[in-house]
Amino acid sequence: MRVLIAFLLGLAGSLAFGWWGFPQLLYQREPQPLQYNHKIHIEKGSMECSSCHEVAADGQFAGIPRTASCGACHAEPLGKTEAEKILVTSYVAPERELDWKVYSRQPMNVRFSHAVHVNKAAMKCEECHGGRGSATAAEPFYRNRVTGESRNVWGPRMIRVGLKPGEGMKMSDCESCHEQKGVSAGCLGCHR
């Protein structure tokens, strides 16, 4: 009996370490430079994803907007929040760029074409990026201390069965989608 209790305690301890402790060690939490509210932009500003995130001319990177495009609307604070004040005084007025942490940035050897997926396959942004576009606050960014990549590439869930859109951007997630849609890309289709 005592052995059983010790075993169960050890098991629980190991699981807790694996689920909670190890990610704490592995990932470094980094705040976004500003609290950004996607929802308010879409609802009150009646904007679309592509209003700010443009696909580059070569079709590759959807793009994080530059401060200048924020300044088009936010020349003066549009509300009374602290973030609004910081945006205008610290970034828009001195024309400084915001150091946004990109959740879905892939490793160097991966090549992703927004043009193929958005223009040709007519996929919605949510199919990969999940509900981030309608969130009210910018969630914290976690950087892998070893590889330097974003934790969102792996996704928050440890058990990777039945993942919802936007819960992971690992190679297997890309692959399973490609398999579902019956399009094969080959290794060098996505790698360079």
Contacts with other proteins by CB under 8 A lie at 55, 57-60, 108-109, 111, 113, 115-116, 119-120, 171-172, 175, 184-189, 191-192
106 φ/ψ angles, rounded to the nearest 5 degrees: -95, 160
CB nearer to other proteins: give 113 or 144: 113
Structure tokens at 142: 């976690």
Residue 91, C-beta contacts closer than 8 angstroms, at least 6 positions apart: 34, 67, 70, 97, 98
Give least dist CB 60 to other proteins, A: 6
Nearer to other proteins, 32 or 60 (CB): 60
Closest to other proteins by CB, 36 vs 61, is: 61
Residue 168 CA from chain centroid, whole number: 9
Q: Which is nearer to other proteins, 33 or 168 (CB)?
A: 168
The least CB distance from residue 145 to other proteins, in Å, is 18
Structure tokens given for 143: 């950087």
Instruction: Supply the minimum distance, in Å, between the C-beta of residue 179 and other proteins.
Output: 11
Closest approach, Cβ 168 to other proteins, in A, equals: 14
Write down the residue that tokens 């193929």 correspond to. Answer: 116
Q: Would you call 96 exposed, middle or buried from its count of C-beta atoms within 10 A (0-12, 13-18, 19+)?
A: exposed
